[in-house]
Amino acid sequence: MNNPENPSFVDIEETIRNVAYKDKNVSFELQASNDENHEFKFSLKGNGKDIDFTIDTRIAIERHHSTKGHPYPHLQWEISKTDSEFFHNGVLHITLLVNSSQELLECCLGFTSILGEVLNFFENELKLKENTLLDYFFNEKIQEFKNHKETLFNFIEKSYIEDKIFVKSDEPLIEIKNRKADDHSMLNQNKKIFFMLRLIFENPMLRPLLEIPTCNRFIEIPQIKKINLTNEQARDIAYTMLEGNHDLEKYTPEKFLIEHQKIK
């Protein structure tokens, strides 16, 4: 994997209106920094509390100094405190196998667009007016970044193929032969895809980032590919299955095909 120069954040910085938001229910902080020592960070950190849930989360695309942590571009999502049945404490780490500064910039632009969708998710959960947070943090230029999401999704798919996605959770989301779900590196590629579908299903704010690339890999599983499902059809059937059963071990391609026949 190459270690390209950091991209310029000028385009992103020009979209940012504000860097901090706070009211009685929620607070968010947007950080964008870049230096000449191969370190950059673009992150959204938020915490919210109301009658439905308490959550602290951080989503970032970054690279650290080699003495600090991961000296390569990566995308990381951390949930550190939650009392919601829909979110689980843990860390999602995705290595971005980019080869140039331009590819990294496109990933950052796509990530910016996804942050807008994550803000929309929180607006809905906190019963805020639509685009309250989005319009507070970003100007209309963020709409120009939508087309770059595909670049980021392509690199996430590549990370699936190259086994560069790591999930660590302190919650026993699913038991697999007496192992916790965070030991999913022992699973084969197909089971990993089912694991990630479960993760997205149980953590819906991950959907803007992971749903499309995960379903793209899902429909490439040989047994699934034979039935020629669209991305949306596969997603809907998988979520219908997951809604009724929490045992990952039963979610094999063969099980999916059986359930597909029942549902369609």
Q: What are the residue boundaries of the structural domains of the chain, listed by start?
A: 1-171, 186-264
Q: Pairing mode, if any, of strands 54-63 and 40-49?
A: antiparallel
Amino acid, single-letter form, for residue 192: K
Identify the pLDDT of residue 184.
Answer: 43
Identify the pLDDT of residue 88.
Answer: 62
Q: What are phi and psi of 4, to 5 degrees?
A: -70, 160
Identify the pLDDT of residue 178.
Answer: 36
In the predicted model, residues of the chain with pLDDT beneath 50 are 51, 171-187
Identify the pLDDT of residue 63.
Answer: 72
Q: What are phi and psi of 127, to 5 degrees?
A: 60, 40
pLDDT digits (tens, 9 = 90+) for 68-80: 556 678 888 887 6
Identify the pLDDT of residue 151.
Answer: 95
What are the start-end ranges of the E strands in the chain?
20-22, 26-34, 40-49, 54-63, 74-82, 90-95, 165-169
d(CA 204, CA 55): 13
Residues in the chain: 264
Identify the pLDDT of residue 186.
Answer: 37
Identify the pLDDT of residue 58.
Answer: 77
Cβ–Cβ under 8 Å, residues 178 and 172: no
Is the full-model pTM beyond 0.85?
A: no
pLDDT digits (tens, 9 = 90+) for 83-117: 555 556 678 888 899 988 889 889 989 999 999 99
